[in-house]
Structure 1
Amino acid sequence: MARFVRKNKDEIGRAPDELFYRGEKKIDEVLIRVIDFDSKNLNEQPVKDITEAIAYQDMKTVTWLNIDGLHNKELMLDIAKGFHLDELVLANVMNTSSRPTVQEFDNCIFLSIKMLQLNEEHGTLTVENLSLILTKSVLISFQEKKGDVFEPIRERIRKNRKRIRNGWTDYLTFALLDIVIDNYIYILSVLGEKIEILEENIGNHPNKSTIRKINDYKRELNFLRRNIRPAKEMILTLSKLESEFIFDSTYIHFQELRDNMNQAIDSSDSYREILTDQLNLYHTSVSTKLNDIMKFLTIFSVIFIPLTFIAGIYGTNFDNVPELHYQYSYYIMWAAMIFVAILMLIYFKKRNWF
């Protein structure tokens, strides 16, 4: 997914409720999984046909329908008809570049948020759009590709954790959003450790790699902030939403999400200030180092200027120069000059002056 919003030309002029996939296809075949449960029973299975999942909405249980892959227009139409949803809801699902948002409809709540994941092996950051459709008995989650980020939630359901097994779709929604926001905080903490390590070393060994790392970290942090800040607005709206699909007992959990989002925003702001301070410290260190070099070269020049002045006036054309008629005097002079030049370069290199 592009780090900046991109709009294809063929998207211009389309109706807002038209089912048209706006994004990059990340999976060939759409995968559908159903977890249906209550306090005593659990049924988990993959589904080949959406009609199998539609039958769950009439049961007095909680049904979590997870769909990996958003490009199948016919499937989206079947979901809209089967669950009696406005096609505008599914059109929003298929728009992966949309901002995080909360919208309440007659028979559901639609939520959209960016889901960030860190590949620790390669150190790369990926983003995908997560959409949730919340009804009284069914929660439908849409992911761009197959992933295991929600596996801890599935394990809690399988292990019959009372809070989630006794809750309804609103609590399940909270659990999924909690995973997403926890990933925000985790990624920020990993980036923060790198920034703090860089801060410890920047005063002692400022070099070109230092400024490169600062710029890389600033770019990653700005990317995180572009996704986290709109999510904060969405969570704030959700925590204040008065809806029949959300029980009063669940609002306290949405407020917890709001607190976690505030923590993530505060951390990103702090790290941004640290990077700015590091950039200023780097330039200060480089300037100080340059001043030290100029001080040394000035002293060096001051010493040799009078010597050069004397040599320039009197020259070296004396009658009694010992090596004047020596056969290899010219080559010895060149060797001495090259040796002095190399010696000075080595000294400058050890002092990290270039």
Structure 2
Amino acid sequence: MARFVKKSKQDIGLAPDDLTFRGKKKANEVLLRIIDFNEDTLEEDAVQVVRDVLKYKEKDTVTWLNVDGLHNAAIMKEIAETLDLDTLVLAEVIQTHARPRVIEYDNCILITIKMMQQKENTDQIMVENLSIILTEDMLISFQERKGDVFEPVRDRIRKQKKRIRHGGTDYLTFALLDIVIDNYLYVLSVLGEKIETLEDTLLLNPNEVVINEINKYKRELNFLRKNIKPAKEMIFSLAKMESEFIDEATYVHFKELEDNISQASEVSDSYRDILSDQLNIYHTTISSKLNDVMKVLTVFSVIFIPLTFIAGIYGTNFDFLPELHYKYSYFIMLGIMVVIALGMLIYFKRNKWL
């Protein structure tokens, strides 16, 4: 399936609030994890059924429910019913090929964004859809597969970092999005090192391997830009949103996200320009080498034209050729040919054609 546009024929005509999983299954089972905290208390738990979350809603705490795995429509329906969410919201969550965006509903804000991770010791970039439902006292995050990308945020909560423990669901949303955008910058930095290293190879030995690498990096960068550009639009929309679910003080942090996503976008643009320049350098270098070859071939052709003319005279089929029976005719002819060749080489050198 294409990397840039993914649309299944089976999805055509489905109702917007239809809880049909529209993506690739990336987890064997759905895992529900709870972190419930305030400035004084912390509780972590893995819940088996969604209704177990209700006991946390009755407390004056921030509740973070993380859902790993989106393929179970029954669980999604249970989340909607138990937590009083419109099925349209959950339908957006399980539509994993949707464009990043932010939508405000009556009792929540839905944020969707592509999350990228650089797989250790490989060139593979893992991409999955992240959805965040933000309510007044609960944040629900949906990931396609189980992962530890948000473990730094969990560690900050466990270590009683003041800002996150005193903040609400809106600040927790910022913390999660900050991790996502930091990963954008990291993935770009890894790709950027390869692109910059390629420039040295390009100047020393421009060959077919180099051009294949350039084209591969261009495809990878275009794929990253395809996810970063709409994410930038979403972050800017979020920072401008006036919502009762976002505290005034948190908008300062959303401005930080604007700066970071803008940096990621600018870096991707810079590397795109570098790859275009490298492609131009490759073609210029190859053309220059071809010109050098053609110059040498042309010089030899020009030198041998008069020599061939002289030799051709002695290949004419006449019985009476004045110089034919002269004792030194052959050596005179060779001498003239050498003088002409040397004279032409000297002429080319003085005119800087060589």
- Residue ranges of structure 1 left out of the alignment (5+ in a row): 320-354
Q: Deviations over 1:177-217 (max 9, x none)?
A: 00000011111111122222222332332211221111111
Q: CA deviation at 1:2?
A: 5.2
Q: Which runs of 5+ in 2 are unaligned?
A: 316-323, 326-354
The amino acid across from 1:257 in the alignment is L
- AA of the residue aligned to 1:243: S
Retained in 1: the 8 A contact 2:4–2:226? no
* TM-score, normalising length: structure 1: 0.86
Pairing 1:48-197 to 2, within 5 Å after superposition: 48-197=48-197
* Deviation readout 1:213-245 (Å, 9 max, x if unpaired): 111111111101110010011101110111111
Partners of 1:299 and 1:35 in 2: how far apart? Answer: 79
Q: Could you report, residue by residue, the CA deviation over 1:137-192 in whole angstroms, capped at 9, with x for unpaired residues? A: 11000000111111111111111111111111111100000000001111111112
**Structure 1 residue 49: deviation in Å?**
1.3
Give 1:210's aligned residue. 210
Give the direction of change, closer, same or farther, for the CA distance of 1:226–1:243 in structure 2 (3 Å limit). Answer: same
The answer to whether the 8 A contact 2:31-2:68 is kept is yes
SS in 1 for 2:204: coil
Q: Determine the C-alpha separation between the residues in 2 that align with 1:275 and 1:229.
A: 18
Q: Secondary structure at the match of 1:187?
A: helix
Residue 339 of structure 1 corresponds to none
Range moving further from structure 2, 46-55 or 160-169: 46-55
Q: Percent same amino acid at aligned positions?
A: 63
Query: Whole-Å Cα distance in 1 between the matches of residues 48 and 103 of structure 2?
Result: 29
What SS is found at the alignment partner of 2:63? strand
Q: Distance in 1 between matches of 2:150 and 2:3?
A: 23
Q: Secondary structure of 2:64's match? A: strand
Q: Distance in 1 between matches of 2:114 and 2:2?
A: 12
Offset, 1:313? 4.5
Moved more, 114-123 or 243-252: 114-123
Offset of residue 306 of structure 1 = 3.9
Give the residue type in structure 1 aligned to 2:131: S
Amino acid at match of 1:264: A
Deviation at residue 109 of structure 1 after TM alignment? 0.6
Distance 2:215 2:34 in 1: 44
What TM-score do the two structures reach when normalised by structure 2?
0.86
Q: Classify the secondary structure of the residue corresponding to 1:149.
A: coil
Judge which range, 201-210 or 298-307, deviates more: 298-307
2:230 pairs with 1:239:
no
In the aligned structure 1, how far is the partner of 2:211 from the partner of 2:144?
35
TM-superposed deviation, 1:269: 1.2
Query: Which residue does 1:283 correspond to in 2?
Result: 283
Taking the aligned partners of 1:109 and 1:128, their CA distance within structure 2 comes to 20
Q: Give the RMSD, CA atoms, in angstroms.
A: 1.9
Aligned to 1:263: 263
Please, which moves more after superposition, 203-212 or 216-225? 203-212
Amino acid aligned to 2:76:
M
The letter for the 2-side match of 1:213 is E
Q: Distance in 1 between matches of 2:198 and 2:312?
A: 51
